[in-house]
Amino acid sequence: MRRQRGVALVVAVLLVALATLIVASLIDTTDLAFARTRNLMREQQAYAYARGLETWALDGLRRDHNEEPGVDSNSDLWARPLPPFDVPGGKLTGRLRERNGCFNLNHLVANGVEDPIARRRFERLLRALKLAPDLADAVVDYADGDGEPAPRGAEDMAYLLANPPRRAANQAFAHVSELRLVRGVDDETYRVLEAQVCAHPAESPINLNTATPAVLMSLVEHLDEARARQLNDEGRARMTSIDAFVAKLQQLGLVLDGGPVQVAVGSDQFQAEALVVLDGIPFRYYSRIAREPQGHRVRYRSRGID
């Protein structure tokens, strides 16, 4: 009799434990489904806010272009960040960044052939950044249309021996991150170059008003860092013509290498950035905007880190 009661007690305990596990599992499943639904709703909400900020950016660029076409600087109204403000469930912040104050990698190769002016400028940029100038061989080889490697360059045969094997692109850079695929560009080299270079269409010029001191040094032979910072005016430079920049160089006894080739005082590439925080969850959105003769258009959108 005692044995039967003991067995019944064990069975009862097991049933209670099983019931507890089932209830806990149901609660976990419900919580997970609730969290998933909440996150999906927040993501859609954040995307809607980001599209609203994109509209704000496009409107600002149109008004700026109408007021002073062909001139852009870091002191323009569009360059002022959008102050943080509350939205249902969280906060929204945003800003519009100009993207022409960098060395355009796609200037290096025109119609599959190396551009000698851009090549000289890129080598000077590498020197200004304390990088080996012969890295230019590998970067040009990666984008040019032939299969002949330069002395310090690399074409398909070198890349096919890599792990994993790959080929040279032999076309324009689609994104600056492609530099990671170029032989000789390690993590440290990429970290230094990333902030100074970009990958826009080949006809997109370098803006002299927003160019960094290192990029200005790439455009002018014998321009040192101190005088480059003077021309940059700590990011506040605002020249209304290329002639104004050339005149400043003449005062320093310097000359713009290649003349007004692939440079301008205005910009045609911008990036709208939105940070939306909802229920403590951050959502980052980027919209790349191109200023074209027929107007402004969004070239692409991305999330996360651009």
Domain extents for the chain? 37-99+268-303, 103-264
What pLDDT digit, counting tens, does each position of 35-52 carry?
677 778 888 888 998 999
What is the number of other CB atoms lying within 10 angstroms of the CB of residue 202? 16
pLDDT of the residue at 42: 82
Classify domain 103-264 at the CATH topology level: Ribonucleotide Reductase Protein R1; domain 1 (1.10.40)
User: What does the alpha-carbon distance between residue 80 and residue 294 come to, in Å, rounded to a whole number?
Assistant: 25
Q: And the tokens for 251?
A: 């005062």
Q: In this model, does residue 30 exceed pLDDT 90?
A: no
Longest dimension (CA), the chain: 111
Classify domain 37-99+268-303 at the CATH topology level: Pantoate--beta-alanine Ligase; Chain: A,domain 2 (3.30.1300)
Q: In this model, does residue 6 exceed pLDDT 90?
A: no
Residues 275-285, mean pLDDT to the nearest whole number: 91
What pLDDT digit, counting tens, does each position of 253-268 carry?
999 999 999 999 999 9
Report the predicted TM-score, pTM, of the whole model to 2 decimal places. Answer: 0.84
% pLDDT > 90, the chain: 66
Contact status, residue 263 vs residue 219, Cβ threshold 8 Å: yes
pLDDT of the residue at 23: 62
**Where do we find the tokens 């590998």?**
138
